[in-house]
Amino acid sequence: MLRKVLTTAAMASALMAPGLASAQDEPVRIALVAKALGIGFFEAAAKGAEEAAAELGDVEIIYTGPTDTTAEGQIEVLNSLIAQRVDAIAVSANDTDALVPTLKRAMDRGITVISWDSGVAPEGREMHLNPSSAPLIGNTIIKLAADHLPEGGQVAVLSATSTSTNQNTWIEEMQKVMGDYPNIEVVATVYGDDLADKSYREAQGLMQSYPDLDAIIAPTSVGIVAAAQAVTDAGKVGEVNVTGLGLPSEMAGHVKSGASQSFAIWNPIDLGYSATMIAHALATDEATAEPGATIQIGRMGEVTLDENGEAAMADPFTYDASNIDEFSSIF
C-alpha cells in the first residue's frame, strides 16, 4: 500500500515537473472524450481540438467516447485512458456525478481533468468550460436583432415555456443590456411552450398585434424554426427578421429563404479548440485551475474561472448565409 502511494506520488511529481514532457520531446497527449461517437457536434469539436494541437505543436489528440450516451460507457473509456497514462482528459459528461470516482482516480495519478460542454461535479474535475454564459447569450440575442435594424425598431421575444429557467435567465440578461440599444423596443414576450404549433400561432399573433414588428427573437430551437415558418407563410420575409438561438441544420432552409438573417449558437469547433488549449495549459503547468485564475486560449482570447471553477468561453457564434452551408452538415 505504502509503495503504491509512493509510486503514485512519484509519478504525479514527475508529471507535474514543468517542461519535463516537452524536454523529452514527448508530445502532450490530450484525450477529448465525447458523450458518444458519431454525433456531428462532437466530431466538430474534435476538429477544433486538432486545430489547437497543430497550433501548439507538441500535442497528440486522442478523440474518443462511448458508442452510446451512457455514463457506464464513458467510464470504460476513461479507465482505458487512465491505463494509457494520457496527460490530460477533457470530457463532456453523460452524467454529472457518475464519472466523479473514475475522474478522481485519474487526477490522483496526475492526469489533468477538465470537463467541457456538459459538466462534471466540481470534485471530479479541475475546471469546467461552459460554451457561453447567460449574460453573453442575453446580449447576443438582442444584438443579432439590432444589427439588422440600424434605424431601430420593434422586436418581440418568442420564448419556450413561461417557466423554463434557461430562457427566462437569458431574457432577463437581455433586458439588462437594453440600455445599449436605445432605438430597439421590446414590445412583447410570448411563450410557444416549445411546441411547433403553439409557437407558430404565437408568432402569427405577434405579427397581427404589432403590424410594424421588425424582428422576432426566439432563444429556443423549436420556437425559432416555427417563427421562421410563420413569417414565410405570412409573406413577411424581409419585413420581419427571425433570429435567436437555433441549430444550423434546422435553420439552413430559413436562412436561405431570408426569413432569418442570422442566428446564434455555440460553435463546437471553438469549444473543442478551447478545451484543448485549456487542457494543455493545465497539463504543462502554464496555468493552474483555481478560482479567479485566467487561462489563455489562443485565438479565442482568455477565460477566467469563477468561484465554482467554471469558465465561459465566448459569445455564441453567429451563423448567416455566408457560413450556414459549412455548419448545417455538422450539427
Partner 1 sequence: MSILKSREAVLALAILALLALIASRFPAFVTPANLARVLTDTSPLILLALGQMTVILTKCIDLSVAANLALCGMVAALLDGMGVPLAVILPAVIAMGAALGAVNGLLVWKLGIPSIVVTLGTMTIYRGTIFLLTNGAWINAHQLSDTFKALPRAEMLGLPVMAWIMIVAVLLVGLAVARLPLGRALYAVGGNPHAAGYAGISVGRTQFAAFVLAGALAGLTGYLWIARYAVAYVDIAGGFELDVVAACVIGGIAIAGGAGTVAGAVMGALFLGIIKNALPVVGISPFWQMAISGSAILIAIAVNTLARRAPGRIILKREEAAA
Residue 105: CB minimum distance to partner 1, A: 33
If the CB atoms of residues 97 and 233 are measured against partner 1, the closer one turns out to be 233
Coil, helix or strand at residue 24:
coil
Q: CA 47 → CA 23, 33, 37, 52, 124, distances in Å?
A: 27, 13, 13, 9, 26
Residue 98: CB minimum distance to partner 1, A: 22
If the CB atoms of residues 14 and 196 are measured against partner 1, the closer one turns out to be 196
Contact with partner 1 (CB under 8 A) among 94, 132, 229, 284:
229
Decide: residue 187, CB within 10 A, 0-12 exposed, 13-18 middle, 19+ buried.
middle
Q: Which of residues 138-167 bind partner 1 (CB under 8 A)?
A: 162
Rg (CA), the chain: 22
d(CA 309, CA 290): 6
If the CB atoms of residues 178 and 187 are measured against partner 1, the closer one turns out to be 187
Residue 200: CB minimum distance to partner 1, A: 6
Size of the site for partner 1 (CB under 8 A): 29
Q: Does 125 bind partner 1 (CB under 8 A)?
A: no
Three-state DSSP string of 46-96: HHHHHHHHHHHCCEEEEEECCCCCCHHHHHHHHHHHHHCCCCEEEECCCCC
**Which residues pair with residue 296 across a beta bridge?**
302
Binding mask 181-220 for partner 1 (x = CB under 8 A): --------xxx---xxxx-xxx-xxx-xx-----------
Contact with partner 1 (CB under 8 A) among 78, 93, 157, 225:
225
d(CA 164, CA 50): 36
Decide: residue 32, CB within 10 A, 0-12 exposed, 13-18 middle, 19+ buried.
buried
If the CB atoms of residues 180 and 233 are measured against partner 1, the closer one turns out to be 233
Q: Which of residues 248-287 bind partner 1 (CB under 8 A)?
A: 249-254, 256-257
Give contact residues for partner 1 (rule: CB under 8 A): 162, 189-191, 195-198, 200-202, 204-206, 208-209, 225-226, 228-229, 233, 249-254, 256-257
